[in-house]
Chain A
Amino acid sequence: MWLLVLPALAINVAIILIPALLTFLAAFSAWDGIGTPSWAGLANFLALIDDPIFWSSLTNNLIWTAIFLTVPVLIALVMAALMLAFPAARTPLQVIYFMPRIFAAAITGRVFQGMIYSPATGILGWLNAHGFALADPLADPDRSLFAVAGVDIWHWWGFLAVVFLAAMRQVSVDQIEAARVDGAGFTALLRHVLLPGIRPTLTLMLILTVIWSFTVFDFIYIITRGGPAYGSEVLSTLAYRHAFFENDVGQAAAAAIVMSLFGLCATFAYLRIQSREEGA
């Protein structure tokens, strides 16, 4: 039995546990990433607490989480229910909705930056030239996070819709038909039949969304690099900046640990819900 588990365990220890432990140790050290590390105690965490950029980054992560727990989830639920209701359109719509997910983040990011938001080469520029005074949201520290979130939502909601549709197709047809016979409309069907029917999938996706929201990096780094004026900085871009631009691996590791704590909380919540459901 143990022999069967061994290969997977060895891989996990080598590529997850050991790097995680080293990161944990790095958070308590002063290290420029190339010289010899020295013990720093809690200095890296205290420096983070004193840094207003850390707090604004954490706030941005929370805003990002709130956005992704609602906007793409709602769009995906409605679209999945509609696809369920219209089987003829289901296959082509699934392909179309899923397509943004297969594009590399770098390509999607650059397309939105250059062909949509850019005042020189994008749709926004064209609208400006035709009498609509619209500023580039990526250039505004108060709106840049939301502008990047818009790109990621475009890339993400279709995937959620396909996952939710797959779950909805497991809901008993008899139950759906009975609701319809009883006069349930689209909203009532979604609320009282489909949502309870896909609750385990929905819970899993929401918990994963929390975890992913605290590790979000790619779109933000590609499109705004956390700017302007740290307006779209999140914990992962903060950690990256500390590690690779400021050569302060200790601070980067401390930020990464804070990031991981939120993921850990979400994981524990999921495990707890799962064990409760299994016990029921």
Chain B
Amino acid sequence: MHIHTPACTCFIIPSSMLRKLAVQADDAERQRLLEQMERSAFLRGQRAASGLAAPGLQVAPGVKHRTVYDAHHGTRLPGKLVRTETAAPVADAAVNEAFDGAGTTYDFYLQVLHRNSIDGRGMGIDSSVHYSKSFNNAFWNGRQMVYGDGDGKLFTGFTRALDVIAHELTHGVTQYTVPGGGLVYDGQSGALNESVSDVFGSIVKQWHLKQTVKKADWLIGAGIMTPAVGHALRSMADPGNTALTWSGDDQPGTMQGYVDGGDVHTNSGIPNHAFYLAAMKLGGHSWDKAGPIWYQALPLLHPDATFAEAAQATVKAAELRHGVGSAEAAAVQGAWHEVGVG
């Protein structure tokens, strides 16, 4: 069902004031202010990304719109339509995996974070499989998901790994949620962009498997590499541990190993490890406390955010959710401190 939303969004109370009020308020009032702040920040993010969204259209929460295309090893997108929301599974496993992974990610965002799809407005999730020849990658292109099949030597495909799907779709969430159109994909903001995707990629996998933080493997991309190459692409628990991942894993886990001018996939190990430490300190399931704190920090960031600013934003989000001086805020602060940030 499509409903119209106002084209122009204005705010009477600035978000900075809402944040101050929330910190000083009691629990019930804090929750109300928090919801108002989330809504304002979300709409600001939407405004920034409005060039990429269907203008004025919103789809009711819980109504999925998934389509999967087959690029037939070409590079023209989206390719041939092979599965729609109401269609039965097809013979091609990659098509069904892309469809199911998009659905699980959608369900996580709706059920856990109360977010209506990637853009928060019920955006349809399009995926193209079999992109290019021997393509060792998967990516979000700003509008849709794209999956290669791997070359069979390094990578064996990407659709079978739920964390890969959730990682890439979360790039879309970041694009629509961080005010200003997302985190610039370079330097520390780029590493944060990668990390946010790893964080929610891992949480979605843990949520699907119903794992506690202690049971989770905290690996990113487990099962997408050939056994001869490695087990996974990255480890949030122990970044750079090649025994857990693969021989080329160069991720630092703390600022001591920060690589000046390093690739965003390298330095993302630092915020990844901060999230892992925070989740371990908070215990239980990562989607109960740690995940919502990280999610709530997104609208507090800006496109050029640094690691220090991400630390501040997550501590602030923990304070907003659990109170100033809470054990949760201290856990988040402690996690960043352990990786040498803040």
A complexed with B: no
